[in-house]
Amino acid sequence: MRAVAQATDGATLLKQRTLALWVAQNRLAAAQAAVPWPPIGPRDGDAMQANMRFAWHENVTGTPNPSFRKIEITVADPDVPDYALARIAGYIGTPPQR
């Protein structure tokens, strides 16, 4: 019985981590498509994915090349905000002029 409970907990955590990664990837894609690009500094927010709520934190920093910015995104369960379920980093190029 204990093995079944552990397997269920593992599957639940895997689902939660997968959904959190999707939230992080969506945030990165939105930042890359944003015009104007996101300002330097931290931001927090929340997102829904498959009827589950997630809290995200992103931090945009400059790079040695002024045409690029680095963005780091961390996603967590809002009830346990100090435990990262997903973490990604990416780069944003200067958005095209419209």
Domain locations in the chain as residue ranges: 2-93
pLDDT of residue 20 exceeding 70: yes
Q: Residue-wise over 60-95: b if at least 16 C-beta within 10 A, else e? A: beeeeeeeebebbbbbbbeeeeeebbbeeebebeee
Helix (H, G, I), strand (E, B), or coil: what is residue 94?
coil
**Whole-model pTM?**
0.86
pLDDT-derived band of residue 95, with 50, 70 and 90 as boundaries? confident
The CATH class given to the 2-93 domain equals: alpha beta
Residue 34 CA to residue 25 CA, distance in Å, equals: 14
At residue 58, the pLDDT reads 97
**Averaged pLDDT, 33-54:** 95
Least confident of 18-22, 33-37, 40-44, 63-67: 33-37
pLDDT of residue 1 exceeding 60: no
Q: Which among 65, 46, 48 has a CA at the least distance from the CA of 56?
A: 46
pLDDT-derived band of residue 48, with 50, 70 and 90 as boundaries? very high
pLDDT of residue 2 exceeding 80: no
Residue 37 CA to residue 94 CA, distance in Å, equals: 7
pLDDT-derived band of residue 64, with 50, 70 and 90 as boundaries? very high
